[in-house]
């Protein structure tokens, strides 16, 4: 066994420079919906390592394959007021002060030149012309000099602002440790970071010609650590990072006690071993092109992007998946609501996609943006891509009657019916599904009867009733739909 000794120290520093981050080796990022973690390789041959951001001692975890032992951990805070970045800031402050004084001096010269007075004995035309020419030339030269000096001053102020912002917004921690590792063993430290933001979304493009759906899982990731991440892996988890790994406590339900409040379920933390070891398992070797993969643990699924560069302060576009699935396209009319003809696709995915903001395209044309529900693997998913303007739907109320009881009749009868006129204005044949709603009786004395001469295609227990209609180009179809409700009349 090879023994490596170093004192483990975490010190919070409020400065950042290239030399400070010289020994950082980022292997991967674990990005959850609510938190992000950095997985950083430790070089056990060095005495210390820098960590990005303000890291608390209790948030540090060590990921290894069981061949390393870490102990003697301690935390120390140091004051690095004379670090490289602070020295650069001080230098620029001096440059700005010198340049400001130089501009003030030149302005005073111009002011003095503008107020030259002649003695009475020296006043003559020749002297006036010579002095005026000299004065004008000097004022012009010094005015041009002020312009150049002000440009330099503006540049210095901008550079000082950038350095100050970098120092104020970027914090790093220093780490030293005692570790014992076998030859070839890898030791990775994992810790949370707040310098990384993301905007995740899906791009879904449906091809009506090829009858398929393409799903791209993408993110815009911005990290402001002041350090460029090179050739890293990014594990994108589609759920919250949470410590709630146990079910809620069982409580008896008594009839004379109000029901306890239902607490919203939270995702459990995914399989620890797979999560923790997925990041450091890949060793960086020769530079490879960016790639992505889909991974499933014992209880969860996540997407991984490999060989990714994330430049500091730059919005980086990262793709985590790009898949195509065969789709069934159809037109569906929501007769129970707005009576519009919507373009609908049905497909099955072999991956689990969580709920997320989605940009929808049809044949490459942007349709709209929507927050779609979860897409489950191996289960049919339906997506709507807006209204099909080539299908004209008219729904007219033709009867709305309430028949009150008389004499010995003790039942109240209600009848409603509509006339549908559906026109296919497209240049091809279409199969259109009209979805309507029948009231549902929850009592044996309430009777509901369908009124329609057209045979329905499907009728469900929840009152959803569907009609499949095939229309040729420019063909029109008309039919009536309605129902009667008969129920006891109470005076």
pTM of the model: 0.69
pLDDT the model gives residue 76 = 56
**With 80 as the cut, is the pLDDT of residue 439 above it?**
yes
pLDDT the model gives residue 20 = 46
**Cα distance between residue 489 and residue 463, in whole Å:** 24
pLDDT the model gives residue 56 = 84
CA-nearest of 143, 185, 375, 349 to 281 is 185
**Cα distance between residue 466 and residue 461, in whole Å:** 12
Question: What pLDDT band is residue 152 in, cutting at 50, 70 and 90?
Answer: very high
pLDDT the model gives residue 17 = 39
Lowest model confidence (mean pLDDT) among 279-288, 406-415, 417-426? 279-288
pLDDT digit string, tens, across residues 1-41: 444 444 444 444 433 434 445 578 999 999 998 999 999 98
> Does 335 fall in a domain?
no
pLDDT the model gives residue 247 = 74
> Does 395 fall in a domain?
yes
**Cα distance between residue 4 and residue 340, in whole Å:** 71
Non-local CB neighbours of 415 within 8 Å, separated by 6+ positions:
399, 400, 401, 403, 451, 482, 483, 484, 485
> Does 297 fall in a domain?
no
Q: Where is the domain boundary, 159, 194, 229?
A: 194
> Does 41 fall in a domain?
yes
> Does 354 fall in a domain?
no
pLDDT the model gives residue 261 = 54
> Does 16 fall in a domain?
yes
Q: Which domain holds residue 75?
A: 1-194
Which single residue is written with the structure tokens 């469900």? 460
> Does 400 fall in a domain?
yes
**Cα distance between residue 396 and residue 82, in whole Å:** 81
Q: Where is the domain boundary, 171, 194, 217?
A: 194
The total of structural domains in the chain comes to 2
> Does 135 fall in a domain?
yes
What is the average pLDDT across 462-477?
Answer: 96
Question: Chain-wide mean pLDDT for the chain?
Answer: 83
Q: Which has more confidence, 475 or 186?
A: 475
Q: Where is the domain boundary, 157, 179, 194?
A: 194
pLDDT the model gives residue 169 = 60
pLDDT digit string, tens, across residues 65-119: 667 888 776 655 443 444 677 788 889 999 999 999 999 998 888 888 877 765 6
């Amino acid at each position: 066994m090879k023994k490596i000794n170093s004192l483990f120290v975490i010190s919070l520093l409020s400065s950042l420079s290239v030399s400070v981050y010289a020994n950082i080796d980022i292997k991967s990022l674990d990005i959850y919906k609510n938190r992000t973690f950095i997985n950083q390789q430790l070089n056990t041959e060095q005495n210390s390592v820098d960590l990005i951001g303000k890291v608390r001692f209790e948030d540090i975890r060590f990921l290894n394959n069981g061949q390393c032992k870490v102990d003697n951990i301690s935390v120390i805070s140091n004051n690095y007021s004379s670090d490289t970045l602070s020295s650069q800031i001080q230098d620029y402050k001096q440059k700005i002060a010198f340049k400001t004084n130089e501009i003030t001096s030149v302005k005073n010269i111009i002011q003095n030149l503008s107020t030259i007075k002649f003695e009475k004995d020296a006043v003559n035309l020749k002297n006036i012309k010579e002095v005026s020419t000299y004065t004008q030339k000097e004022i012009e030269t010094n005015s041009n000099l002020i312009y150049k000096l002000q440009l330099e001053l503006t540049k210095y102020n901008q550079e000082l602002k950038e350095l100050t912002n970098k120092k104020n917004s970027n914090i790093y921690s220093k780490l030293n440790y005692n570790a014992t590792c076998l030859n070839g063993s890898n030791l990775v430290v994992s810790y949370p970071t707040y310098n990384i933001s993301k905007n995740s979304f899906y791009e879904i493009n449906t091809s009506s010609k090829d009858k398929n759906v393409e799903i791209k899982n993408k993110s815009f990731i911005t990290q402001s650590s002041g350090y460029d991440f090179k050739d890293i892996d990014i594990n994108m988890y589609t759920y919250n990072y949470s410590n709630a790994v146990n079910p809620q406590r069982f409580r008896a339900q008594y009839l004379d006690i109000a029901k306890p409040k239902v607490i919203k379920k939270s995702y459990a933390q995914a399989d620890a071993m797979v999560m923790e070891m997925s990041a450091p398992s890949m060793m960086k070797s020769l530079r490879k092109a960016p790639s992505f993969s889909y991974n499933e643990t014992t209880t969860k699924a996540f997407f991984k992007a490999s060989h990714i560069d994330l430049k500091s302060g730059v919005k980086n576009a990262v793709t985590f998946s790009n898949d195509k699935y065969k789709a069934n396209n159809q037109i569906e009319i929501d007769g129970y609501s707005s009576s519009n003809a919507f373009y609908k696709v049905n497909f099955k995915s072999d991956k689990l996609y969580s709920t997320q903001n989605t940009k929808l395209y049809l044949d490459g044309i942007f349709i709209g943006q929507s927050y779609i529900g979860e897409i489950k693997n191996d289960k049919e998913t339906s997506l709507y891509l807006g209204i099909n303007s080539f299908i004209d739907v008219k729904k007219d109320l033709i009867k709305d009657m309430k028949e009150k009881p008389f004499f010995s009749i003790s039942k109240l009868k209600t009848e409603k019916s509509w006339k549908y006129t559906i026109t296919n204005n497209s240049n091809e044949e279409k199969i259109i599904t009209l979805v309507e709603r029948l009231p549902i009786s929850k009592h044996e004395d309430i009777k509901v009867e369908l009124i329609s001469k057209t045979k329905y295609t499907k009728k469900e227990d929840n009152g959803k009733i569907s009609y499949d209609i095939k229309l040729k180009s420019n063909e029109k179809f008309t039919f009536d739909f309605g129902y009667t409700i008969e129920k006891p009349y109470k005076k």
